[in-house]
Amino acid sequence: MDSYPRNWTWITAGILLLSAAWIGLTTAFAPATTGGGVAFPRVGFTAPDFELTGLDGKVVTLSDYRGKVVFLNFWATWCPPCKAEMPAIQNLTLVYPPEQVAILSVNATNQDNLADIQTFVADYGLTFPILLDLDGNVNRTYQVQALPSSFFIDAEGQIQKVIYGGPLSEAMLRAEISRLVEELS
């Protein structure tokens, strides 16, 4: 009977010692920084910068829009909620001047095709920049898991709201963007 409590004590002590060693080793070998990698894009953090070519052939860099509110939308032509929210997004161009608000649309081109994108843009009469994520790197950087996904970015480049899924209503889009525009004043 006396050996059972003693064995239990040794087993518990061994487990604690191994746990402490494991924590120490994982901490010792963990990188001190992200190695230049971008942290998960979330509210309160700077939106990861990117450079993409638009459907019109122009190169767009997110950081060029500092000083403006940015509505960043990830989508694809085959996505029903994306189709449903595009008219509301297009209507934003009639409400907010381009000096205050930039509307950027990143197509998951690695999951889409150029002919469908061009037809989609023409059918919906879209006038804002349609950016082509040919290799999916920007979608991966923003860790887009569902389409559509939308990021509301303030004039300092900080993500203020993230919405995965849709469709988003025009009223909701206006409310979020208006709140950020008010901060510009």
pLDDT tens across 5-21, in order? 667 777 766 676 765 65
User: What is the spatial distance between Cα 21 and Cα 90, in angstroms, rounded to a whole number?
Assistant: 57
Which amino acid, one-letter code, is at 60? V
> 3-class SS at 127?
coil
Q: What is the mean pLDDT of the chain?
A: 87
What fold does the segment set 51-184 form as a domain?
A: Glutaredoxin (3.40.30)
User: What is the spatial distance between Cα 150 and Cα 161, in angstroms, rounded to a whole number?
Assistant: 8
CA quadruple 56, 60, 65, 68: dihedral positive or negative? positive
pLDDT at residue 37, rounded to an integer: 52
Q: Where are the beta strands (DSSP E) in 124-185?
A: 130-132, 149-153, 159-164
Which helix (H) or strand (E) covers residue 73, if one does?
Answer: strand 69-75
Q: Is the pLDDT of residue 26 over 70?
A: no
pLDDT at residue 11, rounded to an integer: 77
Strands 101-107, 51-54: pairing is unpaired
- Residue 177 neighbours by CB under 8 Å, 6+ apart: 69, 71, 92, 96, 101, 152
pLDDT at residue 30, rounded to an integer: 43
pLDDT at residue 43, rounded to an integer: 87
- For the chain, the structural domain boundaries read 1-30, 51-184
CA 78 to chain centre: 20
- Residue 183 neighbours by CB under 8 Å, 6+ apart: 154, 155
Taking residues 76-102, what's their average pLDDT? 96
pLDDT at residue 68, rounded to an integer: 97
> 97 preceded by cis ω (within 30°)?
no
What pTM does this model have? 0.78
Residue bearing the bigger pLDDT, 18 or 60: 60
User: What is the spatial distance between Cα 30 and Cα 32, in angstroms, rounded to a whole number?
Assistant: 6
Please state which of the ranges 16-25, 110-119, 122-131, 142-151 shows the lowest mean pLDDT.
16-25
Please state which of the ranges 16-25, 139-148, 159-168 shows the lowest mean pLDDT.
16-25
pLDDT at residue 24, rounded to an integer: 54
